[in-house]
Amino acid sequence: MAAAAGLRALGAKGSGWLRRGPWAPLTTGFCSGGPAGIGRPEPGPRPTIARQQDGIRSIVLSDPKRRNALSLAMLKSLQSDILHEAESQDLKVIIISAEGPVFSSGHDLKELTDEQGPDYHAEVFQTCSEVMMLIQNHPVPIIAMVNGLATAAGCQLVASCDIAVASDKSSFAMPGVNIGVFCSTPAVALGRAVPRKVALEMLFTGEPISAQEALLHGLLSRVVPEERLEEETMRIARKVASLSRSVLSLGKAAFYRQLAQDLRTAYHLTSQTMVDNLGLPDGQEGVKAFLQKRKPVWSH
Protein backbone atom coordinates (compact mmCIF):
# COMPACT_ATOMS: atom_id res chain seq x y z
CA MET A 1 0.00 0.00 0.00
CA ALA A 2 2.79 2.41 0.88
CA ALA A 3 4.60 1.68 -2.36
CA ALA A 4 1.44 2.23 -4.38
CA ALA A 5 0.81 5.53 -2.61
CA GLY A 6 4.37 6.60 -3.32
CA LEU A 7 3.97 5.89 -7.02
CA ARG A 8 0.74 7.87 -7.14
CA ALA A 9 2.44 10.75 -5.37
CA LEU A 10 5.12 10.82 -8.04
CA GLY A 11 2.50 11.17 -10.71
CA ALA A 12 2.30 7.71 -12.28
CA LYS A 13 0.45 7.98 -15.58
CA GLY A 14 -0.92 5.47 -17.99
CA SER A 15 0.54 5.26 -21.47
CA GLY A 16 0.00 3.44 -24.73
CA TRP A 17 1.95 0.25 -24.19
CA LEU A 18 1.75 -2.74 -26.50
CA ARG A 19 1.17 -6.33 -25.42
CA ARG A 20 4.54 -8.08 -25.35
CA GLY A 21 6.08 -11.56 -25.54
CA PRO A 22 9.19 -12.87 -23.72
CA TRP A 23 12.00 -10.29 -23.85
CA ALA A 24 10.07 -8.25 -26.38
CA PRO A 25 10.32 -4.45 -26.02
CA LEU A 26 7.73 -3.00 -23.67
CA THR A 27 6.91 -0.20 -26.10
CA THR A 28 7.68 1.01 -29.57
CA GLY A 29 7.42 4.77 -29.17
CA PHE A 30 8.36 7.56 -26.79
CA CYS A 31 5.76 10.15 -25.96
CA SER A 32 7.37 13.46 -25.05
CA GLY A 33 4.19 14.73 -23.44
CA GLY A 34 3.96 17.76 -25.66
CA PRO A 35 5.46 19.59 -28.65
CA ALA A 36 9.22 19.64 -29.05
CA GLY A 37 11.02 22.76 -27.96
CA ILE A 38 12.03 24.43 -24.74
CA GLY A 39 11.06 22.30 -21.79
CA ARG A 40 10.43 19.23 -23.95
CA PRO A 41 12.77 16.55 -25.30
CA GLU A 42 13.25 16.42 -29.04
CA PRO A 43 11.19 13.74 -30.83
CA GLY A 44 13.03 10.63 -31.94
CA PRO A 45 13.89 7.10 -30.91
CA ARG A 46 13.48 6.27 -27.23
CA PRO A 47 16.86 6.39 -25.46
CA THR A 48 16.01 3.35 -23.33
CA ILE A 49 15.12 -0.23 -24.21
CA ALA A 50 12.85 -2.21 -21.88
CA ARG A 51 12.07 -5.92 -21.96
CA GLN A 52 10.52 -8.29 -19.48
CA GLN A 53 10.60 -12.06 -18.95
CA ASP A 54 9.86 -14.30 -15.98
CA GLY A 55 9.17 -11.35 -13.70
CA ILE A 56 12.48 -9.63 -14.50
CA ARG A 57 12.34 -6.30 -16.33
CA SER A 58 15.53 -5.18 -18.05
CA ILE A 59 15.87 -1.45 -18.76
CA VAL A 60 18.90 -0.49 -20.85
CA LEU A 61 20.21 3.07 -21.25
CA SER A 62 20.73 2.97 -24.99
CA ASP A 63 22.46 6.18 -26.09
CA PRO A 64 26.16 5.24 -26.02
CA LYS A 65 27.15 7.91 -28.55
CA ARG A 66 26.15 10.51 -25.96
CA ARG A 67 27.68 8.48 -23.11
CA ASN A 68 24.15 7.63 -21.94
CA ALA A 69 23.74 11.17 -20.63
CA LEU A 70 20.65 11.67 -18.49
CA SER A 71 19.04 14.15 -20.85
CA LEU A 72 15.44 15.12 -20.22
CA ALA A 73 14.38 12.62 -22.88
CA MET A 74 16.46 9.87 -21.24
CA LEU A 75 15.04 10.66 -17.80
CA LYS A 76 11.44 10.64 -19.03
CA SER A 77 11.98 7.42 -20.95
CA LEU A 78 13.57 5.78 -17.90
CA GLN A 79 10.74 7.04 -15.70
CA SER A 80 8.15 5.63 -18.10
CA ASP A 81 9.86 2.23 -18.23
CA ILE A 82 10.07 2.01 -14.43
CA LEU A 83 6.46 3.09 -13.92
CA HIS A 84 4.98 0.80 -16.57
CA GLU A 85 2.60 -1.65 -14.87
CA ALA A 86 4.43 -1.12 -11.59
CA GLU A 87 1.57 -2.74 -9.67
CA SER A 88 1.42 -5.80 -11.92
CA GLN A 89 1.95 -9.02 -10.00
CA ASP A 90 3.97 -10.27 -12.99
CA LEU A 91 6.75 -7.78 -12.21
CA LYS A 92 9.17 -8.96 -9.52
CA VAL A 93 12.44 -7.06 -10.05
CA ILE A 94 13.99 -4.43 -12.36
CA ILE A 95 17.56 -4.30 -13.70
CA ILE A 96 18.97 -1.02 -15.03
CA SER A 97 22.05 -1.34 -17.26
CA ALA A 98 23.64 0.52 -20.17
CA GLU A 99 25.14 0.07 -23.62
CA GLY A 100 28.75 1.06 -24.24
CA PRO A 101 31.76 1.77 -22.02
CA VAL A 102 29.98 4.48 -19.98
CA PHE A 103 27.08 3.56 -17.73
CA SER A 104 26.05 7.21 -17.63
CA SER A 105 27.98 10.47 -17.74
CA GLY A 106 25.26 12.34 -15.85
CA HIS A 107 23.23 15.26 -17.11
CA ASP A 108 23.52 16.38 -20.72
CA LEU A 109 25.56 19.59 -20.44
CA LYS A 110 24.06 20.88 -23.71
CA GLU A 111 20.79 21.17 -21.79
CA LEU A 112 22.38 23.18 -18.99
CA THR A 113 23.51 26.28 -20.88
CA ASP A 114 21.83 29.66 -20.49
CA GLU A 115 20.21 29.16 -23.91
CA GLN A 116 17.62 26.89 -22.26
CA GLY A 117 17.08 29.08 -19.22
CA PRO A 118 16.12 28.42 -15.58
CA ASP A 119 12.66 26.95 -16.30
CA TYR A 120 14.13 24.22 -18.47
CA HIS A 121 16.93 23.62 -15.97
CA ALA A 122 14.37 23.29 -13.19
CA GLU A 123 12.43 20.71 -15.21
CA VAL A 124 15.61 18.67 -15.78
CA PHE A 125 16.54 18.53 -12.10
CA GLN A 126 12.95 18.01 -10.92
CA THR A 127 12.47 15.13 -13.34
CA CYS A 128 15.77 13.60 -12.29
CA SER A 129 14.82 13.87 -8.62
CA GLU A 130 11.46 12.23 -9.34
CA VAL A 131 13.19 9.31 -11.07
CA MET A 132 15.56 8.79 -8.14
CA MET A 133 12.71 8.92 -5.61
CA LEU A 134 10.65 6.62 -7.80
CA ILE A 135 13.35 3.95 -7.51
CA GLN A 136 13.11 4.02 -3.72
CA ASN A 137 9.31 4.19 -3.70
CA HIS A 138 8.85 1.45 -6.30
CA PRO A 139 7.23 -1.73 -4.97
CA VAL A 140 9.88 -4.10 -6.38
CA PRO A 141 13.67 -4.18 -5.88
CA ILE A 142 15.68 -2.30 -8.51
CA ILE A 143 19.21 -3.42 -9.38
CA ALA A 144 21.91 -1.38 -11.14
CA MET A 145 24.22 -3.44 -13.37
CA VAL A 146 27.27 -1.26 -14.04
CA ASN A 147 30.01 -1.95 -16.56
CA GLY A 148 32.08 1.18 -16.98
CA LEU A 149 32.12 4.79 -15.84
CA ALA A 150 29.28 6.33 -13.83
CA THR A 151 29.64 10.03 -13.10
CA ALA A 152 27.56 12.80 -11.51
CA ALA A 153 23.85 11.98 -12.00
CA GLY A 154 24.93 8.63 -13.45
CA CYS A 155 26.59 7.83 -10.13
CA GLN A 156 23.46 9.19 -8.43
CA LEU A 157 21.43 6.62 -10.35
CA VAL A 158 23.66 3.79 -9.09
CA ALA A 159 23.48 5.10 -5.51
CA SER A 160 19.68 5.31 -5.71
CA CYS A 161 19.18 1.67 -6.70
CA ASP A 162 18.41 -0.92 -4.02
CA ILE A 163 21.23 -3.22 -5.16
CA ALA A 164 24.23 -2.38 -7.36
CA VAL A 165 26.49 -4.91 -9.07
CA ALA A 166 29.51 -3.69 -11.02
CA SER A 167 32.36 -5.07 -13.07
CA ASP A 168 35.86 -4.64 -11.71
CA LYS A 169 36.65 -2.18 -14.50
CA SER A 170 33.94 0.25 -13.40
CA SER A 171 34.62 3.59 -11.73
CA PHE A 172 32.55 6.31 -10.11
CA ALA A 173 32.96 10.07 -9.79
CA MET A 174 31.27 13.36 -8.90
CA PRO A 175 33.27 15.64 -11.22
CA GLY A 176 30.93 18.64 -11.29
CA VAL A 177 33.39 20.89 -9.46
CA ASN A 178 35.78 20.57 -12.41
CA ILE A 179 33.33 22.44 -14.64
CA GLY A 180 32.01 24.81 -12.00
CA VAL A 181 28.77 22.95 -11.18
CA PHE A 182 28.73 21.29 -7.75
CA CYS A 183 26.93 17.91 -7.79
CA SER A 184 24.31 18.98 -5.26
CA THR A 185 21.46 16.72 -6.32
CA PRO A 186 23.71 13.67 -6.89
CA ALA A 187 25.06 14.32 -3.39
CA VAL A 188 21.64 13.47 -1.94
CA ALA A 189 21.86 9.85 -3.08
CA LEU A 190 25.62 9.58 -2.62
CA GLY A 191 25.49 10.92 0.93
CA ARG A 192 22.91 8.30 1.84
CA ALA A 193 24.97 5.46 0.35
CA VAL A 194 28.52 6.12 1.56
CA PRO A 195 30.11 7.69 4.67
CA ARG A 196 30.05 11.49 4.79
CA LYS A 197 33.79 11.99 4.45
CA VAL A 198 33.98 9.68 1.45
CA ALA A 199 31.09 11.51 -0.22
CA LEU A 200 32.60 14.92 0.46
CA GLU A 201 36.03 13.94 -0.86
CA MET A 202 34.39 12.79 -4.09
CA LEU A 203 32.31 15.98 -4.27
CA PHE A 204 35.12 18.39 -3.36
CA THR A 205 37.83 16.89 -5.61
CA GLY A 206 35.87 15.35 -8.47
CA GLU A 207 38.34 12.46 -8.47
CA PRO A 208 37.02 8.98 -9.35
CA ILE A 209 37.00 5.92 -7.13
CA SER A 210 37.44 2.36 -8.35
CA ALA A 211 34.83 -0.36 -8.18
CA GLN A 212 36.66 -1.96 -5.26
CA GLU A 213 36.69 1.36 -3.37
CA ALA A 214 33.00 1.83 -4.14
CA LEU A 215 32.31 -1.64 -2.75
CA LEU A 216 34.35 -0.91 0.38
CA HIS A 217 32.42 2.29 1.05
CA GLY A 218 28.95 0.86 0.39
CA LEU A 219 28.11 2.35 -3.01
CA LEU A 220 28.06 -1.16 -4.51
CA SER A 221 26.67 -4.49 -3.34
CA ARG A 222 29.32 -6.56 -5.09
CA VAL A 223 32.07 -6.41 -7.72
CA VAL A 224 32.77 -9.19 -10.21
CA PRO A 225 34.96 -9.69 -13.31
CA GLU A 226 33.41 -8.16 -16.41
CA GLU A 227 32.73 -11.55 -17.99
CA ARG A 228 30.65 -12.57 -14.93
CA LEU A 229 28.68 -9.35 -14.53
CA GLU A 230 25.49 -10.35 -16.31
CA GLU A 231 25.56 -13.86 -14.84
CA GLU A 232 25.88 -12.57 -11.27
CA THR A 233 23.28 -9.85 -11.73
CA MET A 234 20.81 -12.32 -13.19
CA ARG A 235 21.51 -14.76 -10.35
CA ILE A 236 20.45 -12.11 -7.85
CA ALA A 237 17.46 -11.05 -9.97
CA ARG A 238 16.24 -14.64 -10.34
CA LYS A 239 16.50 -15.19 -6.60
CA VAL A 240 14.45 -12.05 -5.95
CA ALA A 241 11.93 -13.05 -8.62
CA SER A 242 11.47 -16.45 -6.95
CA LEU A 243 10.24 -14.86 -3.72
CA SER A 244 6.91 -13.34 -2.69
CA ARG A 245 6.36 -9.95 -4.30
CA SER A 246 3.97 -8.81 -1.56
CA VAL A 247 6.46 -9.65 1.19
CA LEU A 248 9.35 -7.92 -0.59
CA SER A 249 7.22 -4.87 -1.37
CA LEU A 250 6.13 -4.51 2.26
CA GLY A 251 9.68 -5.02 3.51
CA LYS A 252 11.26 -2.57 1.07
CA ALA A 253 8.81 0.20 1.96
CA ALA A 254 9.34 -0.36 5.69
CA PHE A 255 13.11 -0.45 5.36
CA TYR A 256 13.27 2.99 3.75
CA ARG A 257 10.68 4.48 6.10
CA GLN A 258 12.51 3.42 9.25
CA LEU A 259 15.85 4.86 8.10
CA ALA A 260 14.65 8.41 8.72
CA GLN A 261 13.27 7.64 12.19
CA ASP A 262 14.79 7.64 15.65
CA LEU A 263 15.51 4.21 17.13
CA ARG A 264 12.31 3.89 19.17
CA THR A 265 10.08 5.01 16.29
CA ALA A 266 11.90 2.73 13.87
CA TYR A 267 11.29 -0.30 16.07
CA HIS A 268 7.65 0.68 16.58
CA LEU A 269 7.15 1.05 12.84
CA THR A 270 8.88 -2.21 11.93
CA SER A 271 7.15 -4.15 14.71
CA GLN A 272 3.83 -3.22 13.14
CA THR A 273 5.27 -4.15 9.73
CA MET A 274 6.08 -7.63 11.09
CA VAL A 275 2.48 -7.98 12.28
CA ASP A 276 1.22 -6.81 8.87
CA ASN A 277 3.60 -9.26 7.17
CA LEU A 278 2.18 -12.16 9.16
CA GLY A 279 -1.28 -11.08 8.06
CA LEU A 280 -0.36 -11.50 4.40
CA PRO A 281 -1.34 -14.80 2.73
CA ASP A 282 2.28 -15.30 1.70
CA GLY A 283 3.45 -14.60 5.24
CA GLN A 284 1.32 -17.43 6.59
CA GLU A 285 2.20 -19.67 3.65
CA GLY A 286 5.91 -19.25 4.33
CA VAL A 287 5.61 -20.02 8.04
CA LYS A 288 3.41 -23.07 7.44
CA ALA A 289 5.69 -24.36 4.67
CA PHE A 290 8.70 -24.13 6.99
CA LEU A 291 6.90 -25.97 9.80
CA GLN A 292 5.65 -28.61 7.36
CA LYS A 293 9.12 -29.00 5.81
CA ARG A 294 8.03 -28.17 2.29
CA LYS A 295 8.68 -25.42 -0.24
CA PRO A 296 6.30 -22.45 -0.03
CA VAL A 297 3.90 -21.75 -2.87
CA TRP A 298 3.65 -17.99 -3.19
CA SER A 299 0.46 -16.32 -4.35
CA HIS A 300 2.56 -14.14 -6.69
Is residue 84 domain-shared with residue 225, that is, in the same domain?
yes
Q: What is the pLDDT of residue 300?
A: 81
Is residue 279 domain-shared with residue 160, that is, in the same domain?
no
Total-model pTM: 0.87
Residue pLDDT, tens place only, 31-69: 333 333 333 444 568 999 999 999 999 999 999 999 999
The boundaries of the domain holding residue 153 are 2-241
Residues 6+ apart with CB under 8 A from 152: 105, 106, 107, 173, 174, 175, 176, 183, 186
Q: What is the pLDDT of residue 92?
A: 98
Q: Is 298 within a domain? A: no
Residue pLDDT, tens place only, 76-100: 999 999 999 999 999 999 999 999 9
Is residue 237 domain-shared with residue 249, that is, in the same domain?
no
Q: Is 41 within a domain? A: yes
Beta partners for residue 176, in sequence order = none
Is residue 270 domain-shared with residue 123, that is, in the same domain?
no
Average per-residue pLDDT in the chain? 89
Is residue 252 domain-shared with residue 146, that is, in the same domain?
no
117 phi/psi in degrees, rounded to 5: 90, 165
CATH number of the structural domain spanning residue 272 = 1.10.12.10
Q: What is the pLDDT of residue 21?
A: 38
Q: Is 81 within a domain? A: yes
Residue pLDDT, tens place only, 100-128: 999 999 999 999 999 999 999 999 999 99
CB count within 10 Å of CB 239 equals 10
Q: Is 124 within a domain? A: yes
Q: Is 236 within a domain? A: yes
Q: Is 299 within a domain? A: no
> Residues 153-171: what's their mean pLDDT?
98
Is residue 67 domain-shared with residue 136, that is, in the same domain?
yes
Residue pLDDT, tens place only, 198-238: 999 999 999 999 999 999 999 999 999 999 999 999 999 99
Is residue 74 domain-shared with residue 201, that is, in the same domain?
yes
Q: Is 76 within a domain? A: yes
Q: Is 155 within a domain? A: yes
Is residue 96 domain-shared with residue 179, that is, in the same domain?
yes
Q: Specify the number of domains making up the chain.
A: 2
